[in-house]
Amino acid sequence: MALIAPSLLSADFGNLARDVRMIDQSAAAWHHIDIMDGVFVPNLSFGLPVVKAIAKEVTKPLDVHLMIVDPDRYIHAFRDAGATHLTVHWEACTHLHRTIQAIKAAGMRPGIALNPHTPVASLEDILGDVDLVCLMSVNPGFGGQSFIENTLLKIVKLRQMAGSSLQIEIDGGVTLTNAPVLLKAGADVLVAGNTVFGSADPAGTIATLSAL
């Protein structure tokens, strides 16, 4: 069974409550929530009040992916808004070890996201401190982009480095076609935005992906 985290970035923001309830009642494992600041990535998404509103509607974990500079400033605010998992970018954290400890101390599960060009070897001395790594399989900032094939190699390398206890999440360009390959390479959690919300039957697509 694959863990599926539908990305709300592709939801209908005019009907956000409807869409998050659909995800909550589907076979999805987590809600994936993309926060963009227009600095770390060339796009803006939404902020804390929206996360708070989502949290009110759902019971499944909120997997918050911070694509922002200086995430330390907002750790407590996201915890208070309802985040259960807080993923920060390796590239955005000068003192990553400190950031990870602060997320844990705030009672959330920390994750580290790596941009496509950042080698998995960069995680060597921090892997023992997290049990979730998000490999970006597109350049972060936008939904609906194409999967970067080199990610497959990164999954295999990271799995070799980390052993079986690490959860490897893949974010960007996940489709019904490449999902089985990603899982076979060693991924556990698949984020899917366009594939879920662009389909005629989003809940059915989540069920199909999670049965892989």
Q: Is position 65 an interface residue for Zn ion (rule: CB under 5 A)?
A: yes
Contact residue for ligand DX5 among 61, 110, 111, 193 (CB under 6 A): 193
Stretch that binds Zn ion, among 97-105, 121-129, 170-178, 195-203 (CB under 5 A): 170-178
Residue 67, phi then psi, degrees to nearest 5 = -105, 65
Residue nearest Zn ion by beta-carbon distance: 65
| Cβ-based nearer residue to ligand DX5, 164 or 177 | 177
Calculate ∠ Cα 33-36-38, nearest 5°: 170
Using alpha carbons, select from 78, 62, 76 the residue that is nearest to residue 29: 62
| Cβ-based nearer residue to Zn ion, 34 or 37 | 34
Q: Which does 145 bind (CB under 5 to 8 A by kind): Zn ion, ligand DX5, none?
A: ligand DX5
Q: Is position 171 an interface residue for ligand DX5 (rule: CB under 6 A)?
A: yes
48 close to 71: Cβ distance less than 8 angstroms: no
Q: Is position 19 an interface residue for Zn ion (rule: CB under 5 A)?
A: no
Catalytically active residues, by annotation: 34, 171
Q: How far is the CB of 53 from ligand DX5 (least distance, A)?
A: 18
List binders of ligand DX5 among 75-134 (CB under 6 A). none
Q: Is position 143 an interface residue for ligand DX5 (rule: CB under 6 A)?
A: yes
Contact residue for ligand DX5 among 96, 166, 191, 206 (CB under 6 A): 191
> How, if at all, do strands 167-171 and 189-192 pair?
parallel
Q: Is position 145 an interface residue for ligand DX5 (rule: CB under 6 A)?
A: yes
Q: How far is the CB of 67 from Zn ion (least distance, A)?
A: 7
CB < 8 Å & 24+ apart, contacts of 142-149: 142/43, 143/7, 143/9, 143/10, 143/34, 143/193, 143/194, 144/10, 144/193, 144/194, 144/198, 145/172, 145/173, 146/173, 147/172, 147/173, 147/174, 147/175, 147/178, 148/116, 148/172, 148/173
